[in-house]
Chain A
């Protein structure tokens, strides 16, 4: 009966271990961190949910918060940092269960939906109540004429060119018109090997490629994808831009893997010298320099239609800020918002993030020090920030719907006019 002997040792041991685990749990539960104990002595603690802290140099964002706390005794700021990819769901879940933090980092693509659901506060009201000088804000994102999000810093998307690759292909300078661009892209791709002229991230997971790499061609020539605030995808501007992209794809001037490529992949391919030109965020300038110091690249405006002489739209994505509707400390929250938008702090944050400030007078330091950033800033000032998706309902899903139709067209399953028509119908359904 050896089994019984073995059993005697084991079962009590398991039960003992389970009891120990429960005891541990009990202790841990009492001492588990992060409960929202009210700050002592009348202090107000506001929570700020964002994805910015991990992306900035260690400790610097917290440093800004500490300065705020010093200037505003009685208010403490608790940073709730989460991964960017999950921010939207977390905010939603938080709103649904009443645990949404007071101040929230927002992306322009979500504003309409959150505003319509009553999740975020009307900032126009708050600004009026606090006699806030709105002229210092470079832009505000409105829904139904009320501001719901203020862009804190803007990441613009100019064109990056790999000068050495272009030279090798016989292209002397970054192209300024669409014809020049198509020509340059084809020449670079013809170099063979792993090189491609252009790179197009059309992943349906994060479909911002539709915004930054496709629609940007429309806006760069002063065109629009909307008419009176409603979708207008079958117009001249969008049709010509989409045909332009489709032709490039057909001529194999685009890097392989486009249908599942994300922005992060695009940068890596360019950094490794395999791509001639790309439309990309300013935020990557330092990244590219760090990862590949040998790479010679330059910044220029996105090419426009031949003969276009008007102001060029330049796409941008922002780190936006809003205040939760259910916040119990809206005044303290607004103080934090105005602090982040104040000239000095906004400039500091823009410098940290390598982005352009949301305060109309701030000038980030790097513009004075760095050639490339200065060029980008000039392009920014010469043109106008263009992102027609901000403030649209289900903006991210609109991008995805367009992306699906575009992929079908590029894959040869339908013609470009059909794709645009289907996308138009699909968009109208969401409006």
Chain B
């Protein structure tokens, strides 16, 4: 049986690689163009015929970004806010998802519907009442103001997704620990969470990204230039009269690196077999 299945494996592998390459062109092609533009001068970005690498290949755009203390501050702010949002959201959402997944209580359905649908209100209409509220709570132009705001956006997503992941884990798992007398917190943090690491990681990464890439509320809820974040920094390069195309591209590239690094670091948890076997009793 081994000879034909080895041949089948090689064929499957070739098809897979072809597919992967086609998909990679689709996914990464535009980003490659973004990268190439960041090394061009503004004039060359729109030339015809287009070239990947032009005569005036330079790191100018990047140099301008790194030598601007103001821009570096944007990155710092984004890191602090996105990092805090991710950690806090995960902790709060894990608790809430446990309740939705494991318990049955009065008002569960309504709460579920509410949490899902609050995301549906167009943010632009929410902007002004929300802004008034933040100013009233003295959170205007502060880190906590942004962090709490983003948590409001990310919690519904995190809770829904974590509930979904927890629902794929059989209830026997927690029951097993309860039999030994442990409470819900133990069942949650010592049993469910470790098994759900891949899910938690993917949610954590996305939460980080939502906070990192958000523009409208970051702009409205901050005032002084030293509290602004990276997306605002990018938009500041889009002037009324002209855009700093290469700097926009360079800043986006730089802005994407933290999330990419996070993903690369954590994607090792996305390997089959790490958690699957633990379901056995």
Among candidates A3, A14, A92, A274, residue contacting B91 with C-beta atoms closer than 8 Å: A14
B239, A55: Cβ atoms closer than 8 Å = yes
In the bound complex, CA of A203 to CA of B5 (Å): 58
- What is the chain B residue whose CB lies nearest that of A79? B225
In the bound complex, CA of A83 to CA of B248 (Å): 13
Q: Does B116 contact A (CB under 8 A)?
A: no
A97, B46: Cβ atoms closer than 8 Å = no
In the bound complex, CA of A84 to CA of B242 (Å): 11
Q: Does B119 contact A (CB under 8 A)?
A: no
If A3-B278, A11-B189, A28-B143 touch, whether A272 touches B88 (CB-CB below 8 Å) is: no
Among candidates A21, A97, A263, A284, residue contacting B87 with C-beta atoms closer than 8 Å: A21
If A2-B278, A82-B219, A85-B238 touch, whether A21 touches B194 (CB-CB below 8 Å) is: no
Q: Report A1-32 residues with CB < 8 Å from chain B CB.
A: 2-4, 6-8, 10-11, 14-15, 17-18, 21-22, 24-25, 28-29, 32
If A24-B84, A96-B131, A97-B131 touch, whether A14 touches B240 (CB-CB below 8 Å) is: no
If A32-B141, A32-B227, A291-B43 touch, whether A14 touches B90 (CB-CB below 8 Å) is: yes
B235, A264: Cβ atoms closer than 8 Å = no
Q: Does A292 contact B (CB under 8 A)?
A: yes
Query: Interface residue count for B (Cβ, 8 Å)?
Result: 52
Q: Mark A62-76, 1 if CB is under 8 A from B, else 0.
A: 000000000000000
A271, B236: Cβ atoms closer than 8 Å = no
Q: Mark A193-212, 1 if CB is under 8 A from B, else 0.
A: 01000000000000000000
Among candidates A8, A15, A83, A194, residue contacting B235 with C-beta atoms closer than 8 Å: A83
- What is the chain A residue whose CB lies nearest that of B135? A97
In the complex, which residues of chain B have a beta carbon less than 8 angstroms from the beta carbon of A263? 241
B236, A83: Cβ atoms closer than 8 Å = yes
If A18-B88, A97-B135 touch, whether A3 touches B227 (CB-CB below 8 Å) is: no
Please report A residues at the B interface, Cβ cutoff 8 Å: 2-4, 6-8, 10-11, 14-15, 17-18, 21-22, 24-25, 28-29, 32-35, 51, 54-55, 78-86, 89-90, 92-93, 96-99, 155, 194, 263-264, 267-269, 271-272, 274, 281, 283-284, 287, 290-292
Q: Can you report 10 A-B residue pairs in the complex whose CB atoms are below 8 A from each other?
A: A4-B190, A29-B142, A32-B143, A33-B224, A34-B141, A35-B142, A89-B127, A89-B220, A268-B46, A291-B42
Please report B residues at the A interface, Cβ cutoff 8 Å: 41-43, 45-48, 80, 83-84, 87-88, 90-91, 127-128, 131-132, 135, 140-144, 147, 189-191, 193-195, 197, 216, 219-220, 222-227, 232, 235-243, 278
